[in-house]
Amino acid sequence: MASSSSSLSRISTLQNHISPLEANNKLRSLVKISPQVSEAISSGRAVVALESTIISHGMPYPQNLQTAKEVESIVRENGAVPATIAILNGVPCIGLNEEELERLASLGKSIQKTAGRDIPHVVATRANGATTVSATLFFASMVGIQVFVTGGIGGVHRHANHTMDISSDLTALGRTPIAVISAGVKSILDIPKTLEYLETQEVYVAAYKSDEFPAFFTEKSGCKAPSRVDSPEDYANMKLNRKAGILFAVPIPKQHSAAGNLIESATQRALTEAREQNVTGNAETPFLLARVNELTGGTSLAANIALVKNNALIGSQIAVALSQLV
């Protein structure tokens, strides 16, 4: 394994100058790829990337560990190989074993929330990093993974006209040719502005079996979806050789969307509290999700877990369909 300072320099160079084909070989000397994931990539089998911030910062322990294991099981049961991505002791890991998942889950919020810009620092300091959407996209793309499942992507925050708080998830999607499966955009964000920003980044956005873009905890956001897709196969056939990513928005299962009004009311209260307590930047989303869970008596956490599992199901089907096109 290369030294941390050497890895810092090489990863920085890769982030700025890399092409996917060149990186596929170079990054194998910088990252740890699990045997199962490595074999699946080499043989052209379906692989699904999974972020780790949802484990460390999105849910409390031990629900986060249980959910992580169940999501990976869903991916396997549907014919794909799960590749949870994180940085452990400065080493980017693509595919975690049970011990590594347990460590990630138990450390929780003490692990640094790592976006794409933070990767060189976390590696150089040999720290632990839970990858956000943007960092997960970076590592998944470098090793040739085509599908990435998450809960909900980041976006344009409410009051962004004053704070300029816009998630790097959006720009990462604009430059990374990966299919991202999510339950739309987190409802704590400004969804109309997020969709406008995605259009500017040339990210193709489609809703699954719906004409309306979902809002994470609820099936409907009040925003018309730019496109509609009705099966994983339709989506796979749509994927072209583009430089930008594709956002596949899957509505939360109906049985878990009934509490949408309760959750939205709690969201509004949490947003007010965040402003009053001056919670900003990458601390805002974990604060809001935790506070909404408290205010809803755990209802939002149950909904969060349900939608992530549903996304894993659909994402695995898409990954298998994509692998069969090659």
Report, as residue numbers or ranges, the catalytic residues: 51, 186
> How many alpha carbons fall within 13 Å on the CB side of residue 304?
25
Helix (H, G, I), strand (E, B) or coil at 283: helix
Question: Could you tell me if 91 and 32 are in contact, meaning their C-beta atoms sit under 8 angstroms apart?
Answer: yes
Beta bridge partners of 87: 92, 129
As a whole number of angstroms, the distance between CA 249 and CA 183 comes to 5
- Whose tokens are 């995605």? That residue is 198
On the question of a cis peptide bond just before residue 62, with omega within 30 degrees of 0, the verdict is yes
Helix (H, G, I), strand (E, B) or coil at 35: helix
**What angle do the packed helices 63-77 and 299-323 form, to 10 degrees?**
30
Q: In degrees rounded to 5, what are phi and psi of residue 249?
A: -95, 115
> How many alpha carbons fall within 13 Å on the CB side of residue 200?
11
Question: Could you tell me if 136 and 148 are in contact, meaning their C-beta atoms sit under 8 angstroms apart?
Answer: yes
Strands 47-50 and 147-149, sheet pairing? parallel
For the record, the structure tokens of 313 come out as 């199901």
Task: State CA 257 to chain mean position distance.
Answer: 21
For the record, the structure tokens of 146 come out as 């085509």
For the record, the structure tokens of 98 come out as 């049970």
Which is nearest to 248 in space by CA: 197, 311, 295? 311
Strands 129-131 and 112-114, sheet pairing? parallel
Cα distances from 190 to residues 155, 166, 277, in angstroms, run: 7, 10, 20
Helix (H, G, I), strand (E, B) or coil at 150: coil
